[in-house]
Structure 1
Amino acid sequence: MATRLTVRTRAHRFDADGLVRSRADKLAGEEPLEVRLDGEQFTVTMRTPGSDVELVMGFLLTEGVITHRDQVREIDFSSGLNPDGSRNLNVASVLLEPGTWDPASYRQRQVYTSSACGICGTASIEAVQKVSRYPLARPRPLVTPATLLGLPDALRAEQALFDATGGVHAAGLFRVSDRPGAEAQESELLCLREDVGRHNAVDKVLGWALGEDRLPLGDTVLQVSGRASFELVQKAAMAGVPVLSAVSAPSSLAVDLGQQLGLTVVGFNRGRTFNAYSAVERIREQ
């Protein structure tokens, strides 16, 4: 699976003087993953292969299908086949515990999700505003500005796939804590994942947390490398993550949902300053 994270190709590099150089290049892998639930097609998402069990688990969590790892009996990738009969690991057949989900309630879903948009396959805005089993606690002081400002660099330092390709998003789950006697608040990177889809990177991180039985994630910050969209706020809330921090801008719907849920949405976090748009009570003095 690891060899499919990247794909080698050749590129022709042009400059302003018209000079052309042929060189080897490395691209981020992108392949479809079909998810079947109890034999029924549920969705197809475009993703970077790797951490696919975490991706499936996280996706089912953030879609409101499951709330605990024990609800998944089996995830089998053996049914994905290439035209020549070889396995491609691009079909995840998921067997759930009886009574976990109602297929009829998901029949209105479209089944294609691109790497650019994680909610394009959902029938309506109302359908993605799901109720989390892990409701957020009332906003209270949790994380200092200095801690938040340090997260983008901490995330970037671990982005090996981005270093190789320049073509993936990253999501990192950081636990924040105050150690007695320490001069400053500490942050610990619990999990980082990269993917061509920002929503996939988040699902992989949350799927890891679900598999480790760490939910709810009330003492964490989810740092992402791109913008803060509605879907990412929704996904964070479904896992009980109280703070979403993004390097780029939030969307209006992301801020609206953050305000509605009491989730702290931080944007334009680039190491020197940031903007907080909702539940600012979680950002405390140094």
Structure 2
Amino acid sequence: MGRVTQRRTITRVTVTPAPDGPAGVSAKVGPDTLIAEEPLEIRVGPAGTPRPALAVTMRTPGDDLDLAIGFLLTEGIIRSAADVRTAQLCAGDQEANTYNVVDVVLADGVPAPQTDPSRNFYTTSSCGVCGKASIDAVRTRSQFDVAADGIRVAPALLADLPDALRAGQRAFRTTGGLHAAGLFDAAGRLVCLREDVGRHNAVDKVIGWAARQDRLPLAGHVLMVSGRASFELCQKAWMAGIPMLAAVSAPSTLAVDLAEEAGLTLVGFLRGQTFNVYTGAHRITGLPQT
């Protein structure tokens, strides 16, 4: 497995404005710490047969088995960790020591996903799996009823989550270049935190960890993410049985539509002491109901 961070030589430039005349410029060559980004290929199939590549995602190395299991679960390919016989890192075909392949052997009776080399999933750190079919497709695959979840939290608890998330981001403090996903319980206690160059990968790592710990569904929990709230992240929360998703940035219209359909509480622009509630305001105490 590759390193989470790497040291590179850079030129740091400082521009000093001048009230009269041209600005001053100084430059210094030195080391900087960058976050690693490498491809991870996920191969899936039954035992005793060649397992084709299902997906390639650009990720930060680390927690790769959780990432693979979380991805398979949130895409509806498996329903729990019990659907996986084995999952292991392997070196791949080209380089001996990259360990950028996860080989997943499905349990007996679990159908293999249909793979088509021209249509394989390809995820990137910017957008995740794009072109989802429809909200109806997510509804038919999710096994959990998050609308029935009775969790209720205070506004002050939600306002504390971004700082709690940032406090747990060790790699971000070094590089400034990572997304994070944090799973919190109803009392605001951090249960699991994962970082990755892709926000969808960070969420898959959290959900994969929970699946391997036999914690699904994640009823009574809040998922806090460092980026925007996309359709895909709402889908992942629903697939894992998480009733509340909070993000420091904006949601998309389709994310709001999906959250409303699922009965998910969706919070955006959670920064400082303010936030917007887009759906499921009944789970936040003291708010007017619309």
TM score, norm. by length of structure 2: 0.88
For residues 44-65 of structure 1, give each alpha carbon's deviation from its aligned partner in whole angstroms, at most 9, with x where no partner exists.
0000000001101100110001
Answering whether residue 63 of structure 2 is matched by residue 54 of structure 1, we say no
Change (3 A) 1:224 1:22: same
2: CA distance between counterparts of 1:30 and 1:149? 31
Structure 2 partner of 1:179 = none
* Structure 2 Cα separation of the partners of residues 222 and 80 of structure 1: 33
Aligned: 1:230 with 2:231 = yes
Q: Is residue 2:174 matched to residue 1:164?
A: yes
SS at structure 2 position matched to 1:173: strand
**Partner AA of 1:14 in structure 2:** V
Q: What amino acid is the match of 1:30?
A: E
Q: Could you give the per-residue CA deviations for residues 148-195 of structure 1, whole angstroms, max 9, x where no partner exists?
A: 11111000111101001100000000011xxxxxxxxx3210000000
Tell me the secondary structure at the aligned position of residue 28 of structure 2.
Answer: strand
Structure 1 counterpart of 2:90: 78
Per mean C-alpha deviation after superposition, the further-off stretch among 20-29 and 69-78 is: 69-78
In the alignment, structure 1 residue 27 sits paired with structure 2 residue 34: yes
C-alpha displacement at 1:255, in angstroms?
Answer: 0.8
RMSD across aligned positions (CA): 1.9
**Helix, strand or coil at the partner of 2:177:** coil
Q: 2: distance between equivalents of 1:141 and 1:62?
A: 22
Aligned to 1:214: 215
Deviations 1:204-226 (A, max 9, x none): 00111111111111110000111
Aligned partners of 2:106 and 2:112 also within 8 Å: no
Matched residues in 2 for 1:193 and 1:236: separation?
15
* Equivalent in the alignment of 1:195: 196
Per the alignment, residue 9 of structure 2 pairs with 10
Shift of residue 126 of structure 1? 5.8
Q: Percent identity among equivalent residues?
A: 51
Are residues 1:276 and 2:277 paired? yes
> How many equivalent residue pairs?
272
Tell me which amino acid in the other structure corresponds to 1:44: V
Pairwise mapping of residues 91-170 of structure 1 onto structure 2 (< 5 A)?
91-104=101-114, 106-107=115-116, 109-120=119-130, 124-125=133-134, 129-130=138-139, 131-138=141-148, 140=150, 142-170=152-180
Structure 2 regions of 5+ residues with no counterpart?
16-23, 46-50
Q: 8 Å contact 2:11–2:28 — kept in the other structure?
A: yes
Secondary structure at the residue paired with 2:241? coil
Match of 1:180 in 2: none
1:285 is displaced (CA, Å) by: 3.0
Give me the whole-angstrom Cα distance separating, in 1, the residues matched to 2:136 and 2:6. 36
Distance 2:149 2:204 in 1: 24
Normalised by the length of structure 1, the TM-score is 0.90
Q: Which residue of structure 1 lines up, in the alignment, with residue 258 of structure 2?
A: 257
Segment drifting more, 15-24 vs 238-247:
15-24
| C-alpha distance after superposition, 1:6-35 (max 9, x if no partner) | 011011111222211112001111000001
- 1:89 is aligned, of 99, 110, 113, to 99
* C-alpha displacement of 1:128: 6.0
- Kindly state the Cα deviation for residue 101 of structure 1 after the two structures are TM-superposed: 2.7
Larger radius of gyration: 2
- In structure 1, the gaps of 5 or more residues are 177-185
- Offset of 1:67 from its aligned partner? 1.2
Report the Cα distance in structure 2 between the residues aligned to 1:267 and 1:135, rounded to whole angstroms: 22
How far did 1:256 drift? 1.0
- Whether contact under 8 Å (2:183, 2:224) holds in the other structure is yes
Contact 1:255 1:278 in 2 (8 A): yes
What is residue 48 of structure 2 aligned with on the other side? none
Mapped to 2, the partners of 1:228 and 1:263 lie a distance apart of 12
